[in-house]
């Protein structure tokens, strides 16, 4: 006889190996140890397991700022049929119809190009003679245009003398007491003295002193030897606009213990620095007379001190005007022997 250890049912059929009730393997009833512990089905004897209720975790808002990183493959495995801007767009399968369309476009393009080439070839065969004639006429017109340009340049300075000099023996430049300083003639020199914390500018009295495409040279000297605080020097291309504002370039020097030069520009009355203060051994200090020179060629200006070139600039804003002088501070400066050559 056999018995089910789970439900304790007995079966007389010795050929059965499993319980017909719950499928538990049968054991021989005669082989069972009376003192052995019997196994019971937990569904019948054990109390039901306690279920723990866990509410859904609350959604958390990330703190600001958030560090944005590209997730690695281990942390964020790819999801089918989705795309992220951090990952390349998955390739889409192309249907065979696409290839037929592309092929048709290529064939049509080849046909169009072939037709265009044939048309251009026929047109060029019938117009070779005319194109050569037109080319010669075009060259002739270019020659005439260049000639007119040269005449225009010549006419710009046609009324001006080839050279102009002033040793200031005649009092033709402006003089007097002004709101920004005083100007006078003393011992055949043109002298200027500005007010404290200001600068004083004087332009030449006529267009004969034009500096367009000219070499301009003057001798400048600090009479008092007080090292003019903001410099003094030579002006080129000086002109006043419709509002009466200054427009020019100026080469200024400082003749103190550490001699320096500076290049400034006045545009609509506003002074700006073109070249900042730069030390130069070409400048004589104290009351030594320094020869200042500016050579103008179109938009290019070259600056010389005592025959030594110190700088060169190119500026298209102001290309013509007259010579002039600049001084600043309360030390008196004398200008003499102005020369202009074109």
Give pLDDT, residue 201: 96
| Cα–Cα dist 50/219, whole Å | 111
pLDDT digits (tens, 9 = 90+) for 28-55: 875 444 554 545 444 444 455 544 444 4
pLDDT digits (tens, 9 = 90+) for 136-191: 333 333 333 333 333 333 335 567 889 999 999 999 999 999 999 999 999 999 99
DSSP β-bridge partners for residue 186: 189
Give pLDDT, residue 183: 97
Give pLDDT, residue 61: 38
Q: Which residues contact 247 (CB under 8 A, 6 or more apart)?
A: 237, 238, 239, 240, 241, 266, 267, 268, 318, 321
Half-sphere exposure of 226 (CA within 13 A, CB side): 15
| Cα–Cα dist 186/332, whole Å | 11
Give pLDDT, residue 219: 98
Q: List, run by run, the mean pLDDT of 10-residue segments along the chain (342 residues).
A: 83 79 78 49 48 46 36 38 40 58 75 71 54 35 32 51 94 94 96 92 96 97 84 96 96 94 96 96 94 97 98 94 94 96 94
Q: Angle CA(153)–CA(156)–CA(157) in degrees, nearest 5?
A: 105
Whole-prediction pTM value? 0.56
Kindly report the backbone phi and psi dihedral angles of residue 212, in degrees, each rounded to the nearest multiple of 5, phi listed first.
-65, 125
Give pLDDT, residue 95: 52
Give pLDDT, residue 97: 65
| Cα–Cα dist 121/268, whole Å | 59
Q: Are strands 232-240 and 260-267 parallel, antiparallel or unpaired?
A: unpaired
The radius of gyration computed from the CA coordinates of the chain, to the nearest angstrom, equals: 51
């Amino acid at each position: 006889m056999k018995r089910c250890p789970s439900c304790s049912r007995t079966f007389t059929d010795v050929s059965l190996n499993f319980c017909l009730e719950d499928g538990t393997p049968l054991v021989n009833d005669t082989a069972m140890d009376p003192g052995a512990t019997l196994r019971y089905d937990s569904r019948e004897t054990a109390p039901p397991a306690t279920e723990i209720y866990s509410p859904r975790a609350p959604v958390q808002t990330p703190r600001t700022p958030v560090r944005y990183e590209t997730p690695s493959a281990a942390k964020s495995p790819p999801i089918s049929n989705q795309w992220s801007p951090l990952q390349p767009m998955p390739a889409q399968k192309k249907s065979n119809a696409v290839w037929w369309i592309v092929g048709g476009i290529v064939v049509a393009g080849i046909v169009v190009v072939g037709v265009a080439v044939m048309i251009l070839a026929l047109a060029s065969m019938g117009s070779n003679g005319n194109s050569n004639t037109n080319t010669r006429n075009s060259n002739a017109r270019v020659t005439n245009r260049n000639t007119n340009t040269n005449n225009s340049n010549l006419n710009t300075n046609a009324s001006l003398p080839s050279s102009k000099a002033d040793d200031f023996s005649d009092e033709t430049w402006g003089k007097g007491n002004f709101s920004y300083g005083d100007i006078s003639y003393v011992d055949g020199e043109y002298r200027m003295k500005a007010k404290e914390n200001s600068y004083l500018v004087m332009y030449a009295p006529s267009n004969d002193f034009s500096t367009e495409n000219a070499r301009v040279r003057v001798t400048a000297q600090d009479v008092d030897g007080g090292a003019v605080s903001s410099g003094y020097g030579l002006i080129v291309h000086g002109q006043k606009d419709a509002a009466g504002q200054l427009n020019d370039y100026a080469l200024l020097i400082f003749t103190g213990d550490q001699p320096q030069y500076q290049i400034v520009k006045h545009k609509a009355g506003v002074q700006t620095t073109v070249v900042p203060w730069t030390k130069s051994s070409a400048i004589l200090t104290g009351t030594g007379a320094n020869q200042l020179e500016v050579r103008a060629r179109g938009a290019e200006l070259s600056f010389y001190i005592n025959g030594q070139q110190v700088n060169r600039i190119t500026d298209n804003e102001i290309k013509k005007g007259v010579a002039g002088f600049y001084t600043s501070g309360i030390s008196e400066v004398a200008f003499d022997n102005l020369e202009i050559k074109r």
